A and B are shown apart, each in its own frame.
Chain A
Amino acid sequence: MGFSLVGAAAIIGVSILMIIEIIVSTGVPTITNVDEAFDEMRNRAVDQVQTDINITGVTSLVNGSGYDINITVENTGSVSLETANFDILINGTINDFSCSKSYIHPQNIVYFNVPSITGLGAQKLKVITNNGISDYYEFNLP
């Protein structure tokens, strides 16, 4: 009877150790990864709340049959923004552009150049930041 008890206890003891190992080796990385993903999401949300831009002016220069549009954008938020991942829509259509700086820091301005825009009269401009915050502006092409 004594050997039986010891044998059974030893087997159950080993299995408990294996169960603890399974729980720790699977549970800890999962919780860590979810926690990191949550942190990233929270940081993105905080960045979005702290992001704001203002289109302060638009000028146009004749370039052949079209116009080169120069857009002045001010960062009125408190987060630095990467300008390469901005998007510029003119009358609803996305356009290629170049920018004077790689980053626009808070309270700074950058200039976007959109080449060879065709059209006349009122134009509606939308600038979208890398994290989806946008501003609108209306201007005229002579």
Chain B
Amino acid sequence: MGFSLTGTHVVFFIASVIIASAVSGVFIAVIDGVMTSFSERGKIIEENLDTNFIIINDPDNIPTSGSFYVFYIKNIGSRKVATTNETFNLFIDGEIVVTENFNFSDTSIKPEEVTNLLIDNSEILAGDHTLRAVGPQDIVDEFIFSI
């Protein structure tokens, strides 16, 4: 009878340790996951706050280069902006410009620098237009111009 009482205590002890360990493990895993997501979200917000650009062309005088219209994109944020077909989406009068029809003269622009955005002239007819450039971190600039 004495042995069975000790055995019962041991079983209770082991069970309580296992349950406490399991609960602790779950809590730690959940908190770690939440904090990892929080950290990643923080980096996205940080990048979003650091990123900004504008189109600086003269709206009346859009220069050309071969069969392309040239738009000047100036980085007015505090972080380098990647300028590729994959990081930018362009819309002219609400219609998306297919990636084959535009490119940049540089793959990235440092703060306060300018790069050329070249858009195939087949995308832009004579008249008034709105160019909407959606860059990294969903930063947007709209530019109204005339050809």
Which residues of A line the B interface, CB within 8 A? 1, 3-5, 7-9, 11-12, 14-15, 18-19, 22-23, 26-27, 29-31, 33-34, 37-38, 40-41, 44, 48, 82, 85, 87, 89, 91-94, 124, 126, 128, 130-132, 134, 136
Contact = CB atoms under 8 A, between A and B. Distances in A.
B contact residues, range: 35 or more
A26 to B, nearest CB: 4
Contacts, number: 120
A18 B32 CA distance: 10
A40 B35 contact: no
Contact of A19 (B21, B27, B50): B27
Summarize A's interface: helix, strand, loop or mixed. helix
Contacts of B38: 26-27, 30
B7 interface: no
A89 B49 contact: no
A135 to B, nearest CB: 12
B22 to A, nearest CB: 10
A8 B112 contact: no
Interface in B1-56: 9, 12-13, 15-17, 19-21, 23-25, 27-28, 31-32, 35-36, 38-39, 42-43, 45-46, 49-50, 52, 54, 56
Given A8-B16, A12-B20, A89-B58, A22 B76 contact: no
Contact of A11 (B17, B49, B58): B17
B72 interface: yes
The 9 closest A-B pairs by CB, nearest first: A92-B61, A15-B24, A30-B42, A8-B20, A85-B112, A4-B16, A37-B49, A26-B35, A11-B20
B19 A8 contact: yes
A19 B30 CA distance: 10
A31 to B, nearest CB: 7
Nearest to B46: A37
B13 A4 contact: yes
Nearest to B13: A4
B35 A1 contact: no
Contact of B31 (A11, A23, A29): A23
A133 to B, nearest CB: 9
